[in-house]
Chains A and B, each alone.
Chain A
Amino acid sequence: MSLEKKLKVLIVDDHRTMLRIIKNLLEQIGITDVVEALDGQEALQKLVKDKYDLILSDWNMMPMTGLELLQYVRRDESYQHRNVPFVMITAESKTENVLEAKKAGVDNYIIKPFNAETLEMKIKSVLQKRA
C-alpha cells in the first residue's frame, strides 16, 4: 500500500496525539515527508515558507478553524497554495457543513476514526481529480 508520487504533506491539528496518529498512518501508506502544525496560524506560517502537495487539516480547532484555514489558503494572494489539494478531517459530519466546506473549496473530507486504507483512498481520489 503506497502512493507512487513522493508527496510533501502538511498536517494540521490542535491535538498532538492526533498529529502523531495521522503521521503514523501516512507513513504506513508510504508518505514520509510530513510537516506538522498545531493550529491554523502555524499552518499559514509554514505555507509561506514552503510548498506542499497536500494539506490535511482538522476542522474543530481553536482559535482558527479548519474551515477558516481553508478560506485563507484559497485566498492566498501569492497563488502558491491557492490550488493545493485540501482534505478536511472531521468527526461526524452534517450535510450542511460538508456543503459549506465544498463552497470554500475543500477537495475531500475524512471522518474520524479512520484507517490507513481510507486515508490512502481519499488522497488518491483527490490527486486523481486534480491530475
Chain B
Amino acid sequence: MSKNVAIVKAIEGAVETIRKAPDDKKPALLDSLLSISQKLMRVTKQFSDIPDTYVTKLSPMIEKQLSAAERRTERAADQFLTVAEEIKPLLDGVDEATKKEIQNKLNEMFEISTFQDLVAQHLNEVKLLMNDLTYDIEELQEALIALGDSSMGGGKKFERSVQQKRSDEHLLNGPSTDF
C-alpha cells in the first residue's frame, strides 16, 4: 500500500509542477502526465490478470498433478508390499538357511517401500510452497487492485483464496525432509 501512496504522491507532485509551469507548456505536460497514467493503468491491468490465471487455472492444475503423483506412488508401494507379504507364507517348509536369506531380502523390500512416505512428504512440501506462492501472488493482486482504486478510481472487489502462509507452521517444529 505504501508504494501505491508513493505513486499517487508522485502524480500529485507532477500536477503541482505543471500548475507552476508557464501557461504555454501546460497542455503538453498535462498530455504527458495523462499518457503516463494510462500506461500505468494498462500495466497494472496486465499484472493483475497474471494472479487470476495462476490462482484459477495453474495452481489447481499443479495441485491435481501433485496429488495424482502421490496417489500413484502410494498405489505402487501398496502393490509392492502385497507381493512381499505374499512371499512370507511360501517360506513354510523351506530350509532354515534359505528362509533366513529370503527373510533378509523381504526386510530390504519393506525398507525400500518407505520411499513412498518420503516422496509424499516432499510432495506435501511442494504443495505448502505453492500455498505460500499463491498467498504472495494474491497479495500482489490486492496491491494492484488497490492501486487502481486509489490512483484512477474503479477497481474490483478482491477475495483471497489463501488466508495465511504456512498453515502447517506447528509441523515445522518437527523433523523435515532433507534433500
Give chain A's interface residues, CB within 8 Å of chain B: 13, 15-18, 20-21, 24-25, 28, 59-60, 62, 65-67, 90-94, 97, 100, 111-117
Contact A60 B121 (CB under 8 A): yes
In-complex Cβ contact of A25 among B107, B170, B178 (8 A): B107
In-complex Cβ contact of B106 among A28, A90, A113 (8 A): A28
3 shortest A-B CB distances, which residue pairs?
A92-B178, A113-B114, A90-B175
Interface residue B139 (Cβ < 8 Å from any Cβ of A): no
Residues on B with C-beta less than 8 A from A24 are: 81, 84-85, 106, 110
A116 and B77 alpha carbons, distance in the complex (Å)? 18
Contact A91 B177 (CB under 8 A): yes
- Nearest-neighbour CB distance to chain B for A80, whole angstroms, equals 26
A111 and B171 alpha carbons, distance in the complex (Å)? 17
Residue in chain A with minimal CB distance to B85: A24
A92 and B177 alpha carbons, distance in the complex (Å)? 5
Q: Offer 11 A-B interface pairs, CB within 8 angstroms, sorted by A.
A: A13-B117, A15-B116, A16-B78, A17-B74, A20-B78, A24-B81, A25-B111, A60-B121, A65-B170, A65-B171, A67-B174
- Nearest-neighbour CB distance to chain A for B40, whole angstroms, equals 44
Q: Given A62-B168, A90-B174, A116-B110, do A21 and B81 touch, yes or no (CB 8 Å)? A: yes
A116 and B106 alpha carbons, distance in the complex (Å)? 10
Interface residues of B in 78-108 (CB under 8 A from A): 78, 81, 84-85, 103, 106-108
A92 and B108 alpha carbons, distance in the complex (Å)? 20
- Nearest-neighbour CB distance to chain A for B2, whole angstroms, equals 35
Contact A116 B107 (CB under 8 A): yes
In-complex Cβ contact of A115 among B111, B116, B120 (8 A): B111
Residue in chain A with minimal CB distance to B117: A18
A15 and B116 alpha carbons, distance in the complex (Å)? 9
Interface residue B68 (Cβ < 8 Å from any Cβ of A): no
- Nearest-neighbour CB distance to chain A for B96, whole angstroms, equals 13
Residue in chain B with minimal CB distance to A59: B174
- Nearest-neighbour CB distance to chain A for B29, whole angstroms, equals 60
Interface residue B59 (Cβ < 8 Å from any Cβ of A): no
A66 and B78 alpha carbons, distance in the complex (Å)? 23
In-complex Cβ contact of A17 among B77, B107, B111, B173 (8 A): B77
Q: Given A24-B81, A28-B107, A60-B121, do A18 and B175 touch, yes or no (CB 8 Å)? A: no
- Nearest-neighbour CB distance to chain A for B88, whole angstroms, equals 8
Interface residue B44 (Cβ < 8 Å from any Cβ of A): no
Contact B173 A100 (CB under 8 A): yes
A21 and B112 alpha carbons, distance in the complex (Å)? 10
A25 and B121 alpha carbons, distance in the complex (Å)? 21
